[in-house]
């Protein structure tokens, strides 16, 4: 494709996206296709000859959009949001157009230095400790996901705990232990498996009634494990768990970790970016105890996937675990020690110029724009929680400090509450106007409502609230009618079974 | 940014990229900035208020381009190419605009099904075995890099070799062994470290004079390790090594691996995509023995990073190693077993809609267009190799079956050949017209010339060849002059040191 063809078709694609964003509210949020339907619309083999671009573009509407669940839809309240924005898309577009590899400083210095710079800016904006700055002992780097960040944190912790012996000798699954709570994201368990430790090395620490890790329980478990000869490697504390945005108390966990020399990793994948708002920073008080920290700009900070912000207080542990330098990558800048090579801070070798989109977002919105974005969603979520608290049809069973609200619908006695709640969820999602997901809290199903799509306004939250109440009323009435029918049927049955005096056979 | 603002600024960015591509040949290939120069051009803190988009765009020229090494430059012959193309950039742009998460089928069915479909198309186009098709026991998935693919292959192999016990109990670094050659990519060693095995578990198998793994040596080492109680887990064979594009003989290695039940992973990161050309497929004869296979569309198949094509013959081993299903991700489609959830095929949980760019590339160029792309670069590389073979200033010491040619400049006796070659390399790269990198072959430095940037034509290869000869002549003359000076100086010194008869002091 020549530059001039690209100019033409590029304008067409930009227009297609602008139109898509303008009409996104008209789609059902959740795709309605059945398994296999998208593939059935595609030819069985790749074309032998090239096709006109118009044919490709037409298939976006014919094949792709019907199979799309619209994460940017204002009625998307599922999972956690997956924000994107105009400046993010355009920063990514520049990155794709440049097509550079940022694996080493020398392979495109701007890719490394802009990333270092933007990560320092973000550390400032989030009020993170000095040790995370590139000017200190640590530094920030963009990772592919908080799953990836949790894994590299564990690898760095294993490296430090072993004094580097893991490099040659591998891990000791029978000795190494990793500490999480029942609410920790599953990616930490996955990281433990990937790193060769096996899930038996995981210690699940008890949580309090708000689902936050209990410092006392952690301290006791660490003491016991150390006494038994285990080597505690890493504690994963979460700021804003995936299930309910519970907050593990960093200020209390930190000193316990420090006492035992165990690496404190903070997984703030969703909630961390909220710290751009000073009044929300208290949620992660004690973050200065962290050895590493991850939060996703691609969830709630107007930046498209992937843009995980990962910081480490001691970069030497990270590069000790992940650094490798074959001959074909040797170069003067690296040998002189004058530069950072981000390939040694991550799992893959290659890397895209991901800081461009962060830079575009930071400059277009400014710090104030990002604060306004976060504040508005938190306010909407708090409003929704207030409505639910005042309504006897719903209850709120967990704290909601940010923009996720978990609702437990109340049902009449005799109704299987979990089945009823899942039925309500499916009914709402089938309707197409909104999309939410669920979780379990203390064994009971609850609805998760994550406010956070950039296009979501108060009107959308009001509409969701109306749909929740309507659906609850409809289902409750349905259950009541069914119960009445059952009662009537049972009464009839009892009547039928009861010996009819006139039908009593005469005793022989 | 509103849809209409996006439309306007999107057109500006598309134009900027089209212009960049049109003028790319005018830049020095390798960035000329010194460490720290890019950061020094940036303000110390993020802006408080948003800035106009024009300011951001202007900084691309002011800050980013001077710090960019231009991988799409027609004079880029370094490392391996990092192809991109118009349709790839536009497919990625659509992906960014949709902003969907493809972690589970249900989170956007098209993201999963288009990926399955395109991977099946590509398996066809590359002539890969039936077992790699989604319709068989295996399947294909897009990974972030071949480093990532090498890691997940190892994790699947560990899962299979242990019968799944690694999940709970972790790895056994003292027993598990992994087989590579001295030419295997460093990412396999990195994968071994990440997976907790440690480098002591790596067996480096001898290579032949063409730097290909010796099947007999592999067989002998496997026998010996098994006899000593080790558990061979994985053999990594490479089709097209990074250093010189050596080809490990899959047809001979396959049966050896099968005999010992060891997982055969084929790392064809660079070379694999060449199999779109039927006459080049012989290079990977025996690929049907592979348990897994990786090749990068983002190196040499006109698709931007990241687009690693990874196939596995038994997907159960992969999802057994990587699958995990927390409550908040449960859904009806997954529970019914009717769909594939690609989060269980990779390290991260989240994933972009990367198949869009592959789909765009396949449709715009068609299979014939991709074949032509590969064929033209192979032909250029063979021509260059022919010129070098006919020239006494250079020698070619390794096979060059594809589009990488390794040249060893010949130098006069007395010249330190490695220093001279590195000097030649720096001189060429400093010139700005071309960029190449180096490696070592049998302990000697050689120049790597990777033909593969989409814009590279015969004229650029001719110019490179002219520069190589000129620089060699210039340096050789310089060395000769220096040698002559040294000789003259030595002669003068000898003359000075010789006892001058008239200066002999009289014996006392």
A291-309 pLDDT per residue, tens: 999 999 999 999 999 999 9
* C-alpha–C-alpha distance, residues B360 and B240, integer Å: 26
Contact residues on chain A for B427, CB-CB shorter than 8 A: none
Q: What is the pLDDT of residue A325?
A: 82
In the predicted structure, residue A372 carries a pLDDT above the cut 50? yes
Residue of A nearest to B122 (CA): A46
Cβ within 8 Å, pair A90-B50? no
Backbone φ/ψ region at B229: left (φ over 0), alpha (ψ -120 to 50), beta: left
Token pair of B498, please?
């010789």
For an interface test with A, the pick among B103, B350, B357, B366 (most A C-beta atoms closer than 10 Å) comes out as B350
Give whole-number Cα distances, A363 to A358, A381, B108, in Å: 9, 27, 31
Backbone φ/ψ region at A155: left (φ over 0), alpha (ψ -120 to 50), beta: alpha
Which residues numbered 257-276 in A keep a CB inside 8 Å of some CB on B?
none
Cβ within 8 Å, pair A347-B347? yes
Residue A409 dihedral angles phi and psi, to the nearest 5°:
-65, 140
Provide the angle, in degrees to the nearest 10, between the axes of the packed helices A458-497 and A355-389: 50
Residue B310 dihedral angles phi and psi, to the nearest 5°:
-125, 130
Contact residues on chain A for B49, CB-CB shorter than 8 A: 366, 368-369
Cβ within 8 Å, pair A360-B56? yes
Q: What is the pLDDT of residue A508?
A: 42
Cβ within 8 Å, pair A56-B92? no
CB-based contact (8 Å) between B466 and chain A? no
Q: Per 3-state DSSP, what percentage of chain B is helix, strand, and coil (rounded to 5)?
A: 55, 15, 35
- A-B contacts at Cβ under 8 angstroms: 501
Return the HEC string of B397-433: CCCCCCCEEEEEECCCCCCCHHHHHHHHHHHHHHHCC
Contact residues on chain B for A439, CB-CB shorter than 8 A: 327-328
Contact residues on chain A for B189, CB-CB shorter than 8 A: 324
Residue of B nearest to A154 (CA): B194
CB of B108 within 8 A of CB of B100?
A: yes
In the predicted structure, residue A76 carries a pLDDT above the cut 90? yes
Rounded mean pLDDT of chain A? 96
Question: In this structure, how many other beta carbons lie within 10 angstroms of the beta carbon of residue A84?
Answer: 27
Contact residues on chain A for B439, CB-CB shorter than 8 A: 327-328
CB of B368 within 8 A of CB of B376?
A: no
CB-based contact (8 Å) between B126 and chain A? no
Q: Residue B340: which of B104, B145, B41 has the closest Cα?
A: B104
* C-alpha–C-alpha distance, residues A152 and A317, integer Å: 10
Per-residue buried b or exposed e for B367-386, using 16+ beta carbons within 10 Å of the residue's own CB: bebbbebbbbbbebbbbbbe
* C-alpha–C-alpha distance, residues A75 and B359, integer Å: 29
* C-alpha–C-alpha distance, residues B249 and B237, integer Å: 8
* C-alpha–C-alpha distance, residues B450 and B452, integer Å: 6
In the predicted structure, residue A507 carries a pLDDT above the cut 90? no
pLDDT band at A500 (very low <50, low <70, confident <90, very high): low
Cβ within 8 Å, pair A366-B48? yes
Residue of B nearest to A326 (CA): B186
* Shortest CA gap B193–chain A (Å): 6
Cβ within 8 Å, pair A350-B124? no
* C-alpha–C-alpha distance, residues A262 and B418, integer Å: 46
Contact residues on chain A for B66, CB-CB shorter than 8 A: 110
* C-alpha–C-alpha distance, residues B344 and A190, integer Å: 10
Least confident span in A17-31, A135-149, A322-336, B300-314:
A322-336
Tokens 């095929």, residue? B345
- Residue by residue, DSSP assigns A356-384 as HHHHHHHHHHHHHHHHHHHHHHHHHHHHH
**DSSP state at residue A228:** T
Token pair of B18, please?
């089209």
CB of A303 within 8 A of CB of A84?
A: yes
CB-based contact (8 Å) between A84 and chain B? yes
CB of B403 within 8 A of CB of B379?
A: no
Question: Please, what sign has the CA dihedral across residues B114, B120, B125, B128?
Answer: positive
Q: Cβ neighbours of residue A86 under 8 Å, at least 6 residues apart?
A: A364, B1, B2, B5, B6, B9, B10
Question: Please, what sign has the CA dihedral across residues B83, B87, B93, B99?
Answer: negative
CB of B296 within 8 A of CB of B267?
A: no
* C-alpha–C-alpha distance, residues B81 and B242, integer Å: 11
Detail the DSSP E strand segments found in B15-172: 139-143
CB of B134 within 8 A of CB of A36?
A: no
Cβ within 8 Å, pair B71-A108? yes
> Which among B14, B19, B194 has CB closest to A14?
B14
Q: What is the pLDDT of residue A389?
A: 97
CB-based contact (8 Å) between A366 and chain B? yes
* C-alpha–C-alpha distance, residues A417 and A185, integer Å: 26
Residue of B nearest to A166 (CA): B198
Radius of gyration of chain B (CA): 27
* C-alpha–C-alpha distance, residues B149 and B266, integer Å: 10
For an interface test with A, the pick among B121, B347, B429 (most A C-beta atoms closer than 10 Å) comes out as B347
Cβ within 8 Å, pair A242-B326? yes
CB-based contact (8 Å) between B294 and chain A? no
pLDDT per residue as tens digits for the range A455-476: 999 999 999 999 999 999 999 9
∠ CA(A6), CA(A11), CA(A16), 5° rounding? Answer: 125
Contact residues on chain A for B168, CB-CB shorter than 8 A: 198-200
* C-alpha–C-alpha distance, residues A274 and A290, integer Å: 17
The helix (run of H) or strand (run of E) holding residue A106 is none
CB-based contact (8 Å) between A36 and chain B? yes
Tokens 């108390």, residue? A249
Token pair of B119, please?
């991977």
Q: Work out the burial of residue A323: count CB atoms within 10 Å of its CB; fewer than 13 is exposed, 13-18 middle, 19 or more buried.
A: middle
CB of B30 within 8 A of CB of B71?
A: no
CB of B404 within 8 A of CB of B245?
A: yes
* C-alpha–C-alpha distance, residues A262 and A160, integer Å: 9
CB of A467 within 8 A of CB of A428?
A: yes
> Which among B201, B351, B448 has CB closest to A170?
B201
* C-alpha–C-alpha distance, residues B70 and B84, integer Å: 12
CB-based contact (8 Å) between A278 and chain B? no
For an interface test with A, the pick among B15, B17, B97, B337 (most A C-beta atoms closer than 10 Å) comes out as B97
Per-residue buried b or exposed e for A405-437, using 16+ beta carbons within 10 Å of the residue's own CB: bbbbbbbeeebeebebbbbbbeebbebebbbbb
Cβ within 8 Å, pair A350-B17? no
Cβ within 8 Å, pair A322-B190? yes
CB-based contact (8 Å) between B306 and chain A? yes
* DSSP β-ladder status, A394-396 and A404-409: antiparallel
CB-based contact (8 Å) between B469 and chain A? no
How far does chain B reach from its first CA to its final CA, in angstroms? 100
In the predicted structure, residue A334 carries a pLDDT above the cut 90? no
Contact residues on chain A for B90, CB-CB shorter than 8 A: 6, 9-10, 13
For an interface test with B, the pick among A2, A12, A14, A52 (most B C-beta atoms closer than 10 Å) comes out as A14
For an interface test with B, the pick among A20, A22, A96, A445 (most B C-beta atoms closer than 10 Å) comes out as A96
Cβ within 8 Å, pair A170-B169? no
CA B127 to chain centre: 21
CB of B222 within 8 A of CB of B179?
A: yes
ipTM score assigned to the predicted complex: 0.95
CB of A395 within 8 A of CB of A335?
A: no
* C-alpha–C-alpha distance, residues B108 and A425, integer Å: 18
Q: What are the per-10-residue average pLDDT scores of chain B (508 residues)?
A: 98 98 98 97 98 98 98 98 98 98 96 98 97 95 97 98 96 97 97 98 98 98 98 98 98 98 98 98 98 98 98 96 86 86 96 98 98 98 98 97 98 95 97 97 97 97 98 96 92 82 52
């Amino acid at each position: 494709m020549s530059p001039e063809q690209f100019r033409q078709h590029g304008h067409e694609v930009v227009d297609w996206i602008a139109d898509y964003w303008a009409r996104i509210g008209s789609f059902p949020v959740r795709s309605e296709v059945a398994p296999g339907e998208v593939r059935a619309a595609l030819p069985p083999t790749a074309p032998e000859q090239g096709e006109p671009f118009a044919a490709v573009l037409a298939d976006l509407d014919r094949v792709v959009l019907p199979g799309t669940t619209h994460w940017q839809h204002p009625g998307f309240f599922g999972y956690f949001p997956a924000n994107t924005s105009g400046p993010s898309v355009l920063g990514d577009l520049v990155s794709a157009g440049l097509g550079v590899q940022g694996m080493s400083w020398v392979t495109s210095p701007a890719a490394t230095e802009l990333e270092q710079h933007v990560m320092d800016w973000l550390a400032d904006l989030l009020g993170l400790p000095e040790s995370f700055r590139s000017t200190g002992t640590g530094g920030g780097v963009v990772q592919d996901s908080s799953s990836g960040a949790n894994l590299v944190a564990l690898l760095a912790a294993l490296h430090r705990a072993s004094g580097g012996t893991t490099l040659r000798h591998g891990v000791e699954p029978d000795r190494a232990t990793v500490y999480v709570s029942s609410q920790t994201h599953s990616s930490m368990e996955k990281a433990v498996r990937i790193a060769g430790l096996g899930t038996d090395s995981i210690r699940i620490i008890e949580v309090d009634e708000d689902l936050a890790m209990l410092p006392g329980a952690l301290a006791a478990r660490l003491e016991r494990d150390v006494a038994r000869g285990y080597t505690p490697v890493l504690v994963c504390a979460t700021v804003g768990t995936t299930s309910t945005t519970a907050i593990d108390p960093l200020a209390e966990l930190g000193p316990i970790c420090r006492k035992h020399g165990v690496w404190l990793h903070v997984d703030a994948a969703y909630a961390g970016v909220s710290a751009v708002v000073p009044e929300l920073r208290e949620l992660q008080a004690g973050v200065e105890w962290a050895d590493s920290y991850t939060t996703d700009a691609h969830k709630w900070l107007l930046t498209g996937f992937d843009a995980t912000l990962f910081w480490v207080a001691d970069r030497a542990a990270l590069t000790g675990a992940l650094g490798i330098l074959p001959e074909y990558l040797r170069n003067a800048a690296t040998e002189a020690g004058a530069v950072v090579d981000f390939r040694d801070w991550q799992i893959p070798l290659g890397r895209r110029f991901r800081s461009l989109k962060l830079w575009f977002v930071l400059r277009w919105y400014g710090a104030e724009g990002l604060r306004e974005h976060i504040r508005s969603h938190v306010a909407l979520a708090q409003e929704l929680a207030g409505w639910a608290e005042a309504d006897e049809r719903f209850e709120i069973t967990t704290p909601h400090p940010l923009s996720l609200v978990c609702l437990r619908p109340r049902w009449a006695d005799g109704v299987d509450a979990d089945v009823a709640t899942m039925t309500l969820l499916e009914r709402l999602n089938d309707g197409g106007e909104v999309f939410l997901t669920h979780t379990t809290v203390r064994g009971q199903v609850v609805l998760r409502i994550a406010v956070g799509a950039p296009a979501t306004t108060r009107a959308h939250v009001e509409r969701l609230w109306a749909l929740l109440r309507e659906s609850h009323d409809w289902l409750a009435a349905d259950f009541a009618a069914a119960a009445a029918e059952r009662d009537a049927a049972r009464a009839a049955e009892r009547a039928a079974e009861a010996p009819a005096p006139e039908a009593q056979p005469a005793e022989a």
